[in-house]
Amino acid sequence: MINRALNNSATRNYLLNKINQCTNLSQLNQTHAQIIHNSLYNDLITVTKLTQKLCDFNAVCKASLLCSAVPNPDLFLCNVLIKGFSRNNLPEKCVSLYLGIRGGCDFEPDCYTYAFTVSACSQFSCEKMGMLVHGNAIVDGVVGDLFVGSCLVDMYLNFGKVGYACKVFDGIPERDAVLWNTMISGLVRKGWLEDGIRVFCDMVVRGSLFDSTTLAVVLSAAAELQELGAGMMVQGFSIKNGLDGHVYVLTGLISLYAKCGEMVPAKLLFEQIEQPDLVSYNAMISGFSSNCDIASAVSLFGGLLLSGEKVNSSTIVGLIPAHHPFGHLDLTWSIHGFSFKCGLVTNSSVSTALTTVYSRLNEIEYARKLFDESPTKSLESWNAMISGYAQNGLTETAISLFRNMQALGVTPNPVTFTSVLSACAQLGALSLGKWIHELISKEKFESNIYVSTALADMYAKCGSLEDAQRVIDMMPSKNAVTWNAMISAYGLHGHGHEALKLFREMLASGVAPTGVTFLSILYACSHAGLVSDGEKIFHEMVNDHGFEPLAEHYACMVDLLGRAGKLDKALEFIETMPYNAGPPVWGALLGACMIHKNTDLARVASDKLFELDPDSVGYRVLLSNIYSAEQNYPQAALVRRAVKKRNLAKTPGCTLIEVGKLPHVFTSSDQSHPQAESIYAMLEKLMGKMRNAGFQTETVMALHDVEEEEKELMVNVHSEKLAIAFGLISSEPGTEIRIFKNLRVCLDCHNFTKFASKITNRVIVVRDANRFHHFRDGVCSCGDYW
DNA sequence: ATAGGGTTAG
């Protein structure tokens, strides 16, 4: 009997050892056979070890069956099984086992039970269950335990409930490095970067011992924030504690310096690493690439390949020149080809990054091809595609893709909404935008600054400044882009003084103006005829804010002066430029010549333009208009023929009007509308009254960039007239009419609309390609300059 | 520890 027991114990030790040594499932199955053969299948210790190993090899079902056959399971075995279910993505099994332990077992859950169950809830976002387990843990008095506490902190941070996480954290005054690290890395992972750094500082102040993991996480937060100072503080601590040679710390520092645009120290740090691993290479490559040093990025990438090290998706994504101001189509193609060869194009991050760069290079078809071919479409890849369409002006496609995404049950996030709103804004689709706003409210995304800025911009561009202002008033804080959007919104509607007021408010609030701020405010001044204010701001920009004016700023000033009729002053201004004026500047002067019908100066400007930009369509159309205005029709026709010959696209004019949330689109002389007959009747009635009142159709060609439409005025009816007539017959008397035209409104239609607003006693709001016109009582808010 | 998606002007 004694012998037999000894023998059993020896066999058991032998088998336990054997289980530990198994490196795959088939070896483990053989060992299992031996266990059965030796009649140890009911032995708790052996079965527990076997369960553990089976779970490691993802054979949790088999493990579960084995356990249920054990006559006398204990808590330890149950805990191992909970961990196994969690590992094998079976949260509901974890929970039911946990509940089984709680309800009518001989034993009570311990710290391990709670820790494993909580981390299962965390991993699988079982929010309600997690909180219930937390409650039980409080009752059982185990929340002060470091292991349980860390799991709870991790869980609440995963759920985004920072308050709860802090409560658990604060309840454990004696913290170890794991608890601190859980708190810090959870905050950083969820984007609460500043808070992560703050907790780290707390940790240091309390004298808690940190490790290289702590430093690496804090460094990644500092890098993301581009807070060089915070990062250098961490560097200081790493030196003090002798962790500055650790490869994680060094890699974190490289990434920090790279993200702050400091590649020289990054390079020095990289050289300090004796044997750089893939991650440190990746940090360097992405650093070079994002700092526009393509040559260094590519050469380091080459070095990595030569060293025989395998590359991963991070390497590829870091190499892709996604944020470069100049296109690198050739490089992108090469990277694309390489990714294909090593099987990484199917990686979601890689294909998303490639999609993004293609669409930024206006190669939207390539982007779409990649998107269609990617086997798993992450939210990021949907976003990349939607924003690609929105940024390329393919607004309808962007919106229909958004609908596809919704139909497939992919939940949009703030990034998605921001892009879709930009599409709505471009489209002028107010009811669509309002629908998006409802979706945003439902998801509680209004607090996101990108979303609310885009929302305000959408309302302004869809004609409703009041709604835009309402969104802005709700925002707790504004960044430069928010201010810029509002300044340009007021400018767009011709409210120059409001825009100036906002500009002063922005400066007073301490938000630094950007290049776009000055463009927005200068355009606002220009459209409102506030010449001296604009000149003052340009002066301020250079002298007080130390801005080097870009070509766009000069173009704005030329526009400002020229629009106000100070053409000579505009020309003088061009001569003061420190470099040669480019197409935008001459284009602005030409535009001003159009308004003020200065043919001589127009020819000077257009000569310059054709010299600099021979392929431009718009300027050729303008030139043709100049000739037409001089009644030089043969020359005008010649220019137009040249345009046609080059097969340069011309956009046909069309106008959109929403009636009862339904969009109606009209083209020139459109007969396709079901109510065409009454529309034309209404138009005839208006035109008759207009003629009687002495209005004349502009016979001389207006010098506007309105393309083909203009010439055909005598035979054709422009789309905006049709839309207004339709608006008049399909809405209540006295209500506002809003229409959207894709091109600039022509002089004749502008006159027509003024007249229509007077005799019908309606406010008519017109958004054209450039700005808003508010017609009221025969007067337009643009003051007839547009 | 490294990597992917967003708002503003013309």
Is the torsion defined by CA of A664, A667, A668, A674 positive or negative? negative
Residue A649, pLDDT > 50, answer no
CA of A450 to C1' of B7 (A): 5
Residue A782, pLDDT > 60, answer yes
The model's confidence at residue A702, banded by pLDDT at 50, 70 and 90, is very low
Can you give the residue range of the structural domain that contains A526?
381-592
Q: How far apart are CA A456 and CA A465, in angstroms?
A: 8
> Closest residue by Cα to the C1' atom of nucleotide B10?
A552
Q: Which of A255-259, A458-462, A627-631 has the lowest mean pLDDT?
A: A627-631
Predicted pLDDT at A598: 80
Q: Which distant-in-sequence residues (6+ apart) come within 8 Å of A615 by Cβ?
A: A646, A648
Q: Which distant-in-sequence residues (6+ apart) come within 8 Å of A436 by Cβ?
A: A417, A420, A421, A424, A458
Tell me: do A488 and A403 sit in the same domain. yes
Residue A599 lies in a domain: no
Residue A277 lies in a domain: no
CA of A246 to C1' of B3 (A): 22
Could you tell me whether strands A654-659 and A779-780 are parallel, antiparallel, or unpaired per DSSP bridges? unpaired
Question: The tokens of A453 are what?
Answer: 């800025």
Could you tell me whether strands A764-767 and A654-659 are parallel, antiparallel, or unpaired per DSSP bridges? unpaired
> Closest residue by Cα to the C1' atom of nucleotide B3?
A314
Predicted pLDDT at A697: 63
For all residues of chain A together, what is the average pLDDT? 87
Residue A643, pLDDT > 60, answer no
- The answer to whether A253 and A235 have CB atoms below 8 angstroms apart is yes
| Interval A710-725 mean pLDDT | 74
DSSP annotation string for A658-693: EETTEEEEEETT---STTHHHHHHHHHHHHHHHHHT
Which neighbouring-strand residues pair with A780?
A775
Is the torsion defined by CA of A245, A248, A253, A255 positive or negative? positive
Q: How far apart are CA A609 and CA A46, in angstroms?
A: 86
Predicted pLDDT at A275: 87
| Interval A397-407 mean pLDDT | 96
Task: For residue A313, give the nucleotide whose C1' atom is nearest its CA.
Answer: B3
Q: Which distant-in-sequence residues (6+ apart) come within 8 Å of A416 by Cβ?
A: A379, A382, A383, A386, A402, A405
DSSP H or E run through A307: none
Tens of pLDDT along A743-778? 888 888 888 999 999 999 999 999 988 889 999 999
- Residue type for position A302: G
Report CA Rg, chain A: 34
Predicted pLDDT at A630: 57
Nucleotides of chain B within 7 Å of a protein C-beta? 1-10
Tell me: do A665 and A567 sit in the same domain. no
DSSP classification of residue A714? G
DSSP annotation string for A46-104: HHHHHHHHHHHTT-HHHHHHHHHH-SS--HHHHHHHHHHHHHTT-HHHHHHHHHHHHSS
Q: How far apart are CA A745 and CA A743, in angstroms?
A: 6
Residue A365 lies in a domain: no
Tens of pLDDT along A290-325? 998 999 999 999 999 998 888 999 999 999 988 787
Residue A371 lies in a domain: no
CA distances from A130 to A136, A252, A420 (A): 10, 33, 35
Residue A239, pLDDT > 90, answer yes
Question: The tokens of A684 are what?
Answer: 């005839």
CATH code of the domain covering residue A512? 1.25.40.10
Question: The tokens of A401 are what?
Answer: 């893709």
Tens of pLDDT along A428-466? 888 899 999 999 999 989 999 999 999 999 999 999 999
Tell me: do A427 and A537 sit in the same domain. yes
Tens of pLDDT along A512-531? 999 999 999 999 999 999 99
Residue A155, pLDDT > 50, answer yes
CA of A410 to C1' of B3 (A): 23
* Percent of chain A scoring above 70 in pLDDT: 91
Secondary structure of residue A764 in the 3-state scheme:
strand
Of A10, A3, A1, the residue nearest A40 (C-alpha): A10
CA of A292 to C1' of B5 (A): 21
Task: For residue A251, give the nucleotide whose C1' atom is nearest its CA.
Answer: B1
Task: For residue A485, give the nucleotide whose C1' atom is nearest its CA.
Answer: B8
Residue A255, pLDDT > 80, answer yes
CA of A724 to C1' of B7 (A): 32
CA of A225 to C1' of B1 (A): 16
Please say which residue of A592, A613, A640 terminates a domain.
A592
**pLDDT top residue among A96 and A442:** A442
Residue A631, pLDDT > 90, answer no
Task: For residue A414, give the nucleotide whose C1' atom is nearest its CA.
Answer: B6
Expressed in angstroms, the distance from the first to the final Cα of chain A is 107
Tell me: do A538 and A678 sit in the same domain. no
Residue A133, pLDDT > 70, answer yes
Q: How far apart are CA A205 and CA A239, in angstroms?
A: 17
Residue A481 lies in a domain: yes
Question: The tokens of A786 are what?
Answer: 């547009």
| Interval A562-576 mean pLDDT | 90
| Interval A33-56 mean pLDDT | 84
Of A342, A351, A357, A333, the residue nearest A304 (C-alpha): A342
Q: How far apart are CA A155 and CA A157, in angstroms?
A: 5
Predicted pLDDT at A629: 57
- The answer to whether A721 and A728 have CB atoms below 8 angstroms apart is no
Residue A767 lies in a domain: yes
Q: Which of A347-356, A479-488, A561-570 has the lowest mean pLDDT?
A: A561-570
CA of A320 to C1' of B5 (A): 15
Place of tokens 């807070």: A227
Cβ-based neighbour number of residue A644 at 10 Å: 10
Task: For residue A273, give the nucleotide whose C1' atom is nearest its CA.
Answer: B1
- The answer to whether A37 and A70 have CB atoms below 8 angstroms apart is no
Predicted pLDDT at A97: 85
| Interval A25-39 mean pLDDT | 84
Task: For residue A347, give the nucleotide whose C1' atom is nearest its CA.
Answer: B4
Tens of pLDDT along A76-92? 888 888 888 888 888 88
CA of A190 to C1' of B1 (A): 17
Tell me: do A579 and A683 sit in the same domain. no
- The answer to whether A25 and A31 have CB atoms below 8 angstroms apart is no
Residue A768 lies in a domain: yes
> Closest residue by Cα to the C1' atom of nucleotide B6?
A415
Tell me: do A411 and A494 sit in the same domain. yes
Tell me: do A688 and A543 sit in the same domain. no
Q: How far apart are CA A551 and CA A548, in angstroms?
A: 10
CA of A390 to C1' of B4 (A): 18
Report phi then psi at A733, rounded to 5: -55, 140
Query: C-alpha angle with apex A249: A247 to A250, nearest 5 degrees?
Result: 65
> Closest residue by Cα to the C1' atom of nucleotide B5?
A380
Task: For residue A317, give the nucleotide whose C1' atom is nearest its CA.
Answer: B3
Task: For residue A350, give the nucleotide whose C1' atom is nearest its CA.
Answer: B4
Residue A714 lies in a domain: yes
- Residue type for position A725: A
Cβ-based neighbour number of residue A305 at 10 Å: 13
Predicted pLDDT at A635: 58
Give the count of domains, chain A.
2
Residue A178, pLDDT > 90, answer yes
Residue A707, pLDDT > 70, answer no
Predicted pLDDT at A590: 85
Tell me: do A391 and A527 sit in the same domain. yes
CA of A359 to C1' of B4 (A): 14
- The answer to whether A746 and A718 have CB atoms below 8 angstroms apart is yes
Cβ-based neighbour number of residue A226 at 10 Å: 12
CA of A521 to C1' of B8 (A): 12
Predicted pLDDT at A65: 83
> Closest residue by Cα to the C1' atom of nucleotide B1?
A248
Task: For residue A520, give the nucleotide whose C1' atom is nearest its CA.
Answer: B9
CA distances from A190 to A154, A193, A320 (A): 11, 8, 25
CA atoms within 13 A on the CB side of A186: 27
Tell me: do A443 and A587 sit in the same domain. yes
Please say which residue of A564, A592, A620 terminates a domain.
A592
Tell me: do A561 and A710 sit in the same domain. no
Tell me: do A428 and A523 sit in the same domain. yes
Tell me: do A444 and A532 sit in the same domain. yes
Residue A671, pLDDT > 50, answer yes
Of A72, A82, A162, the residue nearest A119 (C-alpha): A82
- The answer to whether A420 and A402 have CB atoms below 8 angstroms apart is yes
Please say which residue of A574, A592, A610 terminates a domain.
A592
